[in-house]
Chains A and B, each alone.
Chain A
Amino acid sequence: MDTFSNLALGFQAAMSPESLMFCLIGVTLGTFVGVLPGIGALATISMCLPLTFYLEPMPALVMLAGIFYGAQYGSSTASILLNLPGSAPAAITCLDGYPMAKQGRAGVALFITTIASFLGGSFSILLMIGFAPALARFAISFSSADYFAIMVLALTAASTLSIGSVTKGMAMVALGLLLGLVGTDISSGAARYTFGMIEVSDGVSLVALAMGLFGVSEILTNIMRGDVVVVDAKSITMRSLMPTRKDMKRFWPAAGRGSIIGAIVGMLPGTGPTIATFMSYSAEKRLAKDPSIFGKGAIEGIASPEAANNSSVQAAFIPTLTLGIPGDAIMAVMLGGMLIHGITPGPQLILENPVLFWGVIASFWIGNVFLLILNIPLIGIWVRLLTIPYHMLYPAMLFFICIGVYSVHNSTFDVLLTLIFGVLGFALSRYGYSPAPLLLGFVLGPLLEEHFRRALVLSRGDLSVFIERPISLIFLILTSVVLLMSVGWFRTLVGRLSPKRLFRRPTNE
């Protein structure tokens, strides 16, 4: 009952006119920076941080958080409409969202992703309300060996991401791993594959890679081909935005699985939403009765990653608020913002400042409701974007990509890099190599290496640490099962044993 009285307290604080207003400002701003490619929550939150110095801690925090999760709602919009992800995690939404738009179902896709975002966000908020401190302790009990095992599982998922040949998919993963090596080695401090360029001393920018491979390469493809989706503006009615009953039947379980995967990945410090969305997509493809529908506009392919995206960003607040351990750069800025306001996130926060703790959590949910109300009517407007002739649209797209990429590190080199990756992405997709596994390899590679090496330093070189730790063991067993599934006789065996025939190999014809 204690939780309920606390929550009532929180809602009371979050419903104050001031908090409501700043929540609305935050989520609205977030939605727009989310839609714009490249410009992400990190740059926006850092820019808004000094503005909040004049606010009370509560509205300041509510607004900054609103920008963060609001941006995740917006980030899939351009993925669906233009094959241009608003942020790296939304790159996976391009795979099935854009084909839906080509089939004239952009409105349905946007509707589905909005609802999925809301479900994912709400799921993690509920977890936070019920079990935040316990979950945070569980999350930090993951040591380097455990992280390594999770990354191995995520990497095996990479092979399912490619549409077409598995070999080509694996080649892309390898290329991604290699690109991920560029930069300063975390263990020794040595610069690797930088060729003396200080611009890449901290590694290749993820945003530049994602924007280039997905955004710029798509623009190039369209210009070369000249065939672009043209939608009749008159055909867009509220009715045409609504998913069918059949769509919704496929939607619910996918969004549920996405929410769970997102929450688990999100609360682990150092992982982030990109891994969450990619893992949830590949889980859907593995579990699907007919994996061949993916990449052609499968509802599951957008519902699950979008739910995972929002679930993971909300779950990222769990270790930040309850232990003072921010999981990524955005959470670190949020933590900095809290410290400036004299709030010290940590185990004592819930006791010393319950109004703030519960108020902020309540505001998350209010913010998600705002986002739902805000985004549904926007769908009609976004879809009309498609009626703009492409030759007028793409210069604007390129312009926003350049500004967005520049805003991340204030680096013109990153802009150049984006264009190079754009050309690379264009060439790769022409020859049937899909960019998604490359991106996953790039994100996972550095983590895989860092945790493998650190696990071995901690164990003084003893490899058995990977099977002695229970969490690590579980994930390695899961990985073996996934791998064995792609072997014929094993699949038949499991197929006979399991009545539901849960596991099936993705067909990669």
Chain B
Amino acid sequence: MTNNNITKNTLKRTGGLLLAAAMSISMVFGAGQALADTDYPTKPVRILVPFGPGGLADITMRLAGEKLSKILGQQFIVENHPGAGGVAAANELLKADPDGHTLVVMSNGTTIATSLFKKLSYDPQKQFAPISTLAWFDLGLFVNPDSSYDTLQSLVAKGKANPDSLNIATVSPGSTQNLAAEFFLSVTGIKANIIPYRTSPDTLAALLRGDVDLVIESPTAYSGAIKGKQVRVLAITGAKRNPSLPDVPTVKEAGVDGYEVSGWNALYTRVGVPDDVIAKLNAAITEVANMSDIQEKFFDLGIVVGALTPSEMADRFEADRKKWSAVIESAGIEKR
């Protein structure tokens, strides 16, 4: 379904309008059915975002919240509750009634947190009920255009020949970007320094001034630098090429097997929220994901829109949890 949705978006762009239109109609029909079952929402709905304002998750949720308000007839209000491992947002959700009027944003960062923290104060798989994913994104492997690294292979060769010589910058330890770097080192067998920076712009500045050789970061955060040719993208970490960077190979295509990282943002609520409410929310998000203006906005941001059913969402969470816990294990990262 993930791949279906992503393919669908690409199809729509390349002209496969009929298929997409047919699917949208079935989705709208589905939404109509759910409407009959419950009078949810009866009051404004809070979307708790576990990050500060301005980030990818925040922006995508604000865009989607706007649309959800229109579809469901109540305000969807984004609240930022930043804090390590999403704990602040999770606690806030657990304080709320299980009536579906409080939602939380989970990301693949949450799947990392479950393995990284010795005792996470909440269990996302037992206490939270999945609704749907909203956004999918991949990461890019960026180098300075003045560097000698033309291909991913040349960087890997240099790293292997000179252990401990490469500097790799990522944002904070335990982030998807940071673990994607650890994962890259363990797959390629390179020894290098992974240097954590506070923010994505900090990593860009470090790359531009030549302090580091490689940055793993989302192409969205680097969109200005990509357009301005200040950085070179060696590869994209997703299973498929990024539609906004069609010329850049995937890591696999660039010759490194067994490496794939794609991130997502999804809406969850508390366990105990009635199934018909979840179904109604899922239908509404699916409708949002099929709106052409949302798809365009997200495409401009370098993100792919895509909904999942609640059970697909649960499977995806479990798959990513296993993957990251293996990475944490093999990289020997100390749990906190």
Give the distance in Å from the alpha carbon of A339 to the alpha carbon of B219 in the complex: 12
Q: Which of B31-39, B129-137, B200-208, B279-287 contacts A (4 or more CB under 8 A)?
A: B200-208
B199 near A332 with CB under 8 A, answer yes
Nearest 5 pairs between A and B by C-beta?
A346-B224, A324-B224, A189-B173, A333-B54, A46-B53
CB of B58 closer than 8 Å to a CB of A: yes
Smallest CB separation, B303 vs chain A (Å): 10
B201 near A186 with CB under 8 A, answer no
What residues of A have a CB within 8 angstroms of the CB of B230 in the complex? 323, 346-347
What residues of B have a CB within 8 angstroms of the CB of A49 in the complex? 53, 62
B205 near A325 with CB under 8 A, answer yes
CB of B249 closer than 8 Å to a CB of A: no
CB of B196 closer than 8 Å to a CB of A: yes
Identify 5 new A-B residue pairs, CB closer than 8 A, beyond the known A144-B211, A198-B87: A198-B88, A202-B83, A339-B223, A346-B223, A409-B82
A198 near B84 with CB under 8 A, answer yes
List A169-199 residues whose CB lies under 8 Å from chain B: 184, 186-191, 198-199
Interface 1/0 per residue, A319-361 and B, CB below 8 Å: 1000111110100111110011010111111000000000000
Give the distance in Å from the alpha carbon of A342 to the alpha carbon of B202 in the complex: 22
CB of B188 closer than 8 Å to a CB of A: no
What residues of A have a CB within 8 angstroms of the CB of B198 in the complex? 186, 270, 450
Interface 1/0 per residue, B216-234 and A, CB below 8 Å: 0000101111011010000
CB of A493 closer than 8 Å to a CB of B: no
A199 near B55 with CB under 8 A, answer no
What residues of A have a CB within 8 angstroms of the CB of B208 in the complex? 140, 323
A143 near B209 with CB under 8 A, answer yes
What residues of B have a CB within 8 angstroms of the CB of A336 in the complex? 53-55, 58-59
Q: Which of B66, B201, B336 contacts A325 (CB 8 A)?
A: B201
CB of A201 closer than 8 Å to a CB of B: yes
Q: Which of B173, B201, B211, B227 contacts A143 (CB 8 A)?
A: B211
Smallest CB separation, A355 vs chain B (Å): 17
B87 near A332 with CB under 8 A, answer no
**Residues A189 and B174 in contact in the complex (CB < 8 Å), given A198-B83, A198-B121, A409-B81:** yes
Interface 1/0 per residue, A399-410 and B, CB below 8 Å: 000000000011
**Residues A324 and B53 in contact in the complex (CB < 8 Å), given A199-B88, A202-B83, A454-B195:** no
A333 near B81 with CB under 8 A, answer no
Smallest CB separation, B180 vs chain A (Å): 15
What residues of B have a CB within 8 angstroms of the CB of A457 in the complex? 193, 195
B224 near A345 with CB under 8 A, answer yes
B residues near A, CB below 8 A?
52-55, 58-59, 62-63, 65-66, 78-84, 87-88, 91-92, 121, 167, 172-174, 193, 195-199, 201-202, 204-206, 208-209, 211-212, 220, 222-225, 227-228, 230, 297, 300-301, 336
Interface 1/0 per residue, A449-462 and B, CB below 8 Å: 01000100110000
B223 near A344 with CB under 8 A, answer yes
What residues of B have a CB within 8 angstroms of the CB of A326 in the complex? 201
When C-beta atoms are compared, the residue in chain B nearest to A348 turns out to be B228
Q: 16 pairs across A/B with beta carbons < 8 Å? A: A50-B65, A53-B63, A186-B198, A201-B84, A269-B201, A269-B202, A270-B202, A319-B205, A323-B225, A335-B54, A336-B58, A336-B59, A340-B59, A342-B300, A347-B228, A409-B80
B195 near A458 with CB under 8 A, answer yes
B84 near A340 with CB under 8 A, answer no
A191 near B220 with CB under 8 A, answer no
Give the distance in Å from the alpha carbon of A132 to the alpha carbon of B197 in the complex: 25
When C-beta atoms are compared, the residue in chain A nearest to B167 turns out to be A458
What residues of B have a CB within 8 angstroms of the CB of A128 in the complex? none
Give the distance in Å from the alpha carbon of A100 to the alpha carbon of B125 in the complex: 59
**Residues A329 and B54 in contact in the complex (CB < 8 Å), given A140-B208, A269-B205, A340-B297:** yes
When C-beta atoms are compared, the residue in chain B nearest to A340 turns out to be B59
Give the distance in Å from the alpha carbon of A340 to the alpha carbon of B88 in the complex: 27
For chain A, the count of residues having a C-beta within 8 Å of the partner chain is 52
Smallest CB separation, B277 vs chain A (Å): 24
When C-beta atoms are compared, the residue in chain A nearest to B173 turns out to be A189
Give the distance in Å from the alpha carbon of A42 to the alpha carbon of B52 in the complex: 10
What residues of A have a CB within 8 angstroms of the CB of B195 in the complex? 454, 457-458
Give the distance in Å from the alpha carbon of A344 to the alpha carbon of B228 in the complex: 9
B336 near A339 with CB under 8 A, answer no
Smallest CB separation, A89 vs chain B (Å): 19
Q: Which of A184, A186, A329, A333 contacts B84 (CB 8 A)?
A: A184
What residues of B have a CB within 8 angstroms of the CB of A187 in the complex? 173, 196
Give the distance in Å from the alpha carbon of A42 to the alpha carbon of B80 in the complex: 12
A140 near B209 with CB under 8 A, answer yes
Give the distance in Å from the alpha carbon of A332 to the alpha carbon of B54 in the complex: 6
CB of A480 closer than 8 Å to a CB of B: no
When C-beta atoms are compared, the residue in chain B nearest to A350 turns out to be B228
Give the distance in Å from the alpha carbon of A410 to the alpha carbon of B223 in the complex: 30
Give the distance in Å from the alpha carbon of A103 to the alpha carbon of B101 in the complex: 54
Give the distance in Å from the alpha carbon of A329 to the alpha carbon of B198 in the complex: 11
**Residues A323 and B224 in contact in the complex (CB < 8 Å), given A332-B201, A340-B297, A450-B198:** yes
- Between B174, B197, B228, B230, the greatest number of chain A beta carbons within 10 A of the residue's beta carbon is seen for B228
Q: Which of B121, B172, B209, B227 contacts A346 (CB 8 A)?
A: B227
Interface 1/0 per residue, A270-290 and B, CB below 8 Å: 100000000000000000000
What residues of A have a CB within 8 angstroms of the CB of B225 in the complex? 323-324, 346
A189 near B196 with CB under 8 A, answer yes
Give the distance in Å from the alpha carbon of A270 to the alpha carbon of B121 in the complex: 31
CB of A141 closer than 8 Å to a CB of B: yes
Smallest CB separation, A405 vs chain B (Å): 15
A349 near B209 with CB under 8 A, answer no
